[in-house]
Structure 1
Amino acid sequence: VNSKVIISEWRKLKLKMRCPGVWITLCVLCPCVVFGGKVLVFPIDGSHWVNMKVIIEELHSRGHEVSVVRSSDSWYIKETSPFYTSVTLSTGSGFDEDFLSNFVAKLLEIQREGKSAWMRFKLEMEMIEKGTEIHEKSGKMIEVLLEDKHLMQSIKDAKYDLVLTDPVSPVGAVVARYLGLPLVFNVRWTSTGEGHMTIAPSPLSYIPMTGTELSDKMSFFQRLLNVIVYFYTAVQIEVLLCPFYHGVIGKYLGPDIDYLSLFQAADLWLMRVDFVFEFPRPTMPNVVYMGGFQCKPAKALPQDLEDFVQSSGDHGVIVMSLGTLIGVLPRDLTDEIAAAFAKLPQKVIWRYTGDRPASLGNNTLLVDWMPQNDLLGHPKTKLFIAHGGTNGVQEAIYHGVPILGLPLIFDQPDNLLRIDVRGAGKIIDIFSMDQDIFYQGIQEVLNDPSYRMNMQRLSRLHRDQPMKPLDTALFWIEFVMRHKGAAHLRTDSYRMPWYSYHSVDVMLFLSGVVLIVLCTSVGFVRCLCSKFCVKTKRKHD
């Protein structure tokens, strides 16, 4: 009886399912099936956390569990958040706010001495000294983390699907290899330099090294400089960086693992640039470009800020920010900047946390924090005065706002060079700048329409994509979760010795074969000639 009832009910259900309305109702009422993964995140503090947080929040919104490993001296990365659970280590990273602020202040002080070989030498020594401190603390942090058996066991028991990390620090890469988890990088920079240089073919004839401030069109002497910087960087990596990690890597991962291979073995590189910004270059299948992923349409400004912006009338607004690390400049320099602003008919919103400059005009508003993305997307914003950090440059491209660049340190000169080469901005040397130079630079970018036209062209190119950069990044993160890695996209060329990678052994073999053939041919010809001469001599005799 039961089987007859079941068959009868099944026939009725089949008849109902032929009706399209039933299918529509089921699609509306039934919840979507969502794959909820578990992600272990090792971020870097400061501005790098700003863009990592965007990915974390999006992962959370898609139903994934996120755990963030933070150091005890974190300043941007909060211990409590609705988007992630935190794991706070007992040791510091050395990458705290005071260390970075003092480091940046020292670099600025050195560069204000004027351009010279001595200044460049002092700058390199300062960066080597501070880099040594950071890597020494990072090595200790890895050891403390892996020696904490209780913590490591809890991480193993959590059964994470992948590790997402910023490769400026190797901590996440080491832990991923130790746990055997897929590894995804949120990357532009690694501890060894620009991310592409670690995994992709990089011909030095048209791939400029970071710090050279060169484009992809180099003269002979520029290419010579590029090659010298490349080998100098390689020596620095081998002598001043890798030794800090040899011991801990050998102890926990095995003697056959070297420092660079930890990065080259990553499953996925989420690259925070695109080729609207970056110069064309060779790349790899596991590099996914998500330049501008943190950018979004502008939201309404707070009322007080909106009132100030609207008070600018037809002249518009200028926005100035030198990033998260540089809230204060030397007093004489801020007075020059403020005096130049005071001459302008435009209103100015300036993120500045120091003492009020004596020459500040009524048209300038100083703020401790600004909604930068929303200001750049406001129709009255005419110009962005920036230091050249990647996040700010990408937001300016997204909203089509030309840039007056004041590069200070790290990658900022190279970032702004890419904007300058494309005619979407102008660079001023802040260390030799005075009020008049700064004022003239502002006037040039404001009044020459080519700057705005070129930046808006870049904006159109950037936005013309089949998927939003953030959606692309999340798709590939989830792809790695679903497939337990992406080894099929990763080349194993890094396992090859350098002479095999560059085919030196093949060239030597072929050269040897050619040499043997030539020698044999020459010997054979000489033998024939000798016999011919002997025969000829006998005939004459």
Structure 2
Amino acid sequence: MFYCLAVVLILASCVDLSENANILVVSASLSRSNQVWNNAIAFGLAERGHNVTIVTPDLPHVIKVNKNVFYIILEGAIAKFKPQIKTNVYDYNIPDLNEMKKVAKNNWDKAYRICEFYLNTQGLQTLLDYPSHIKFEVILWDLENSECMLPLIPKLGNPPVIVLSPNGFQPTLNWIFGTHWKPYLPIPGLPYDKDMNFMRRFLNAITIKFMYYQKYEVYLKENINLANEKFKNYFTIDDAMNFELNFSLALINSNFHMDYGRDVAQNKIVVGGLHINPLQEAKTVTNVNVKRIFVSLQDDKLDKKQLQGIADCLGSLDTFKVYWRVADVTGKIIKPKNIVFNETFNQIQILGSKNTKLFITSGNLLSLQEAVYFGVPILAIPSTYAQTNNVKKLSIATGAQGAINEKYLCRKIRGILNDEDYLENTKTNSGRFRDQPMKPLDRAVFWIEYVMRHGNGKHLEPLTRNMNYFESENIDLLFFAALFFICLPLTGLYLLIKCIQRRTINNDVKFNIKIKQD
């Protein structure tokens, strides 16, 4: 297999880059959503005739067959780590800073252990064994769980690197691409909405600085130490940060309609929803004329009583067929007749059906994008702050997880299905999401090929990328202005006092002289 892949890549290197390039995708996340989004880009490039090599863990239901796509599997990661992936990276109680520090450290440690595991896989060794004359024209890199592999970049000849961000805008992207996350923008995972008062902005700013410290003073240093052991080179934290400063641009899974307004630099390309194929129809389910409800929740965060409450409510809606994407629930709940359980339902296909009248979801970003695109009403039952943050941006109906029971949920569902204004807003949201000058996937492919044609994208970066924090945020100017406007009145006051004192002294002298003369 390795020799066949090598021959294909060597032959491809003789062809014009815009038509047939060798592209490496580093997609080390254990999240299925990340893999779906990253793979959509990879297959979009493959359809253009490029040869795409994907470095990925062995996630089921993600690996597909395409003549131009080659997989390098980081074997064993799913079996070892997937049972441990229970909490969201930013799922902490922000007012409790000690708890925030503890949970954040646990998640950084988890990412460190995963990356350490990858360094010892046969899959990574396969990539390291590539002959030096095999070149990749560009690397697409999802940084999650993979920063200990940054020395691959010089090992592969320092091709341009494009960062993939399936989870939308993240503070890390700002640090890498030369901008700063503003305190008035809630970071993903905090339970805040657009109403950012002073205390929220203050806590948000503290959290951002804490995350920066964790990444660059702890996590990245630990990853560089790992890399030095594996790659037998001496890389420093400065080398790692220089790698990041040379990244060409970022492809970000966001849509302006589903996010807060923000300034976006030229080296950040917004391509939210690129994984959605509008031509898909619901072909995997039967009874196509029956009204449907689709359910996809984080079932590991719901107890048996909550699951049964959801099932009982949905079972009472006997005019609907309910498709619930869930693993085996045998022994956990009593199954109503109108509910079908299956872990492998194709979510996009079901949501793409005109007969799907409601989507009950935890609020994952990709799920929300799909429902908004197809104009399906949403009831969100978020399990983490990140999901709550996604839901608040859309102002959609929510159900508190702790309050789940049959009566409460049925009232919510019937309220949505009978609310004409809500249904009309759903159609409006869909139209806004779809109204774009070009398809998100086409835009992503264009910018990847643009980088291959024109180099590393240095001409796209903002001037602030080469400034320190005080310069880019004009803190030095504000400090000078503060000093000026404080010192100027004080200086004037001082001179006025001196003038008065001098006049007083002069008057006293003249008075004394006059007395002596008299």
Q: What is the TM-score of this pair, normalised by structure 2?
A: 0.81
Cross-structure match for 1:306:
286
- Is 1:280 matched up with 2:251? no
Unaligned runs of 5+ in 2: 1-15, 514-518
CA distance in 2, matches of 1:394, 1:190: 11
Aligned to 1:229: 207
Is residue 352 from structure 1 mapped to residue 326 from structure 2 by the alignment?
Answer: yes
State the one-letter code of the partner of 2:283: P
In the alignment, the residues of structure 2 paired with residue 258 and residue 146 of structure 1 have an alpha-carbon distance, to the nearest angstrom, of 25
How many residues align structurally? 485
Indicate the residue corresponding to 2:308 in structure 1: 335
2:150/2:240 contact within 8 Å kept: no
Q: Percent identity?
A: 22
Moved more, 511-520 or 373-382: 511-520
Which residue of 59, 63, 67 maps to 1:82? 67
Matches within 5 A, 1:15-94: 35-43=19-27, 44-45=29-30, 46-71=32-57, 74-75=59-60, 78=63, 82-88=67-73, 94=77
CA contact (8 A) 2:18 2:449 kept: no
Q: Which moved more, 1:56-65 or 1:327-336?
A: 327-336
CA distance, structure 2, for counterparts of residue 295 and residue 70 of structure 1: 21
2:181 aligned to which of 188, 196, 202: 202
1:31-87 CA deviation, whole Å, 9 max, x = no partner?
Answer: x9962211111013422111111111111111111112235x555564975341233
Q: Which amino acid aligns with 1:269?
A: A
Among 85, 103, 108, the alignment partner of 2:85 is 103
Distance 1:333 1:455, change over 3 A: same
Output the CA distance in 2 between the equivalents of 1:353 and 1:292. 26
Q: How much does 1:278 deviate?
A: 0.6
Q: Is this contact kept in 2: 1:165–1:173, CA < 8 A?
A: no
Q: Match of 1:532?
A: 503
Residue in 2 aligned with 1:369? 344
Offset of residue 522 of structure 1: 5.5
The DSSP-based 3-state class of the residue aligned with 2:145 is coil
Relative distance call for 1:253 and 1:57 in structure 2 (3 A) is farther
Structure 1 unaligned residues grouped into runs of 5+: 1-31
The AA in structure 1 aligned to 2:182 is P
Q: Which amino acid aligns with 1:65?
A: N
State the SS of the aligned residue for 1:85: strand
Compared CA separation, residues 520 and 183, structure 1 to 2 (3 A): same
- Structure with the bigger RCO (C-alpha within 8 Å, sep 6+) is 2
CA–CA separation in structure 2 for the residues paired with 1:498 and 1:426: 39
Distance 1:336 1:525, change over 3 A: closer
SS of alignment partner, residue 397 of structure 2: strand
Q: Map 1:174-323 onto structure 2 (within 5 A).
A: 174-176=151-153, 179-189=157-167, 195-196=173-174, 199=177, 200-205=179-184, 207-238=185-216, 240-247=218-225, 252=233, 254-255=235-236, 257=238, 262-302=243-283, 305-307=285-287, 309-310=288-289, 312=290, 316-322=291-297
Partner SS state of residue 159, structure 1:
coil
Deviation at 1:340, TM superposition (A): 0.8
Looking at structure 1, the residues matched to 248 and 17 of structure 2 have their Cα atoms a distance apart, in angstroms, of 26
Matched residues in 2 for 1:465 and 1:123: separation?
39
Tell me the residue number matched to 1:6: none
Once the two structures are TM-superposed, the CA of residue 217 in structure 1 deviates from its matched residue by 2.4
Root-mean-square deviation (CA, aligned residues, Å) is 3.7
For the residue of structure 1 that corresponds to 2:373, the secondary structure is helix
How many angstroms apart in 2 are the aligned matches of 1:340 and 1:388? 20
Match of 1:462 among 433, 449, 474: 433
1:175-194 alpha-carbon deviations (Å, 9 max, x no partner)? 33653221112214499756
Retained in 2: the 8 A contact 1:298–1:375?
no
How much has 1:523 moved relative to structure 2? 5.8
- Shift in CA distance, 257/264, structure 1 to aligned 2, threshold 3 Å: same
C-alpha change, 1:147 and 1:168, in structure 2 (3 Å) is closer
In the TM superposition, residue 348 of structure 1 has moved relative to its aligned partner by: 0.7
Q: Deviations over 1:169-212 (max 9, x none)?
A: 3446553365322111221449975645754343213x112222
Q: Which residue is equivalent to 1:163?
A: 139
Contact 2:25 2:53 in 1 (8 A): yes
CA distance in 2, matches of 1:414, 1:265: 31
Q: Which residue matches 2:516?
A: none
Judged with a 3 Å threshold, the aligned counterparts in structure 2 of structure 1 residues 153 and 375 are, in CA distance, closer, same or farther, namely closer
Contact 2:190 / 2:385 at 8 angstroms: preserved in 1?
no
Shift of 1:486: 1.1
Where 1:54 maps in the other structure, the secondary structure is helix
Q: Give the C-alpha shift of residue 290 in structure 1.
A: 0.9
The answer (yes or no) to whether the contact 2:293–2:357 under 8 Å persists in 1 is yes
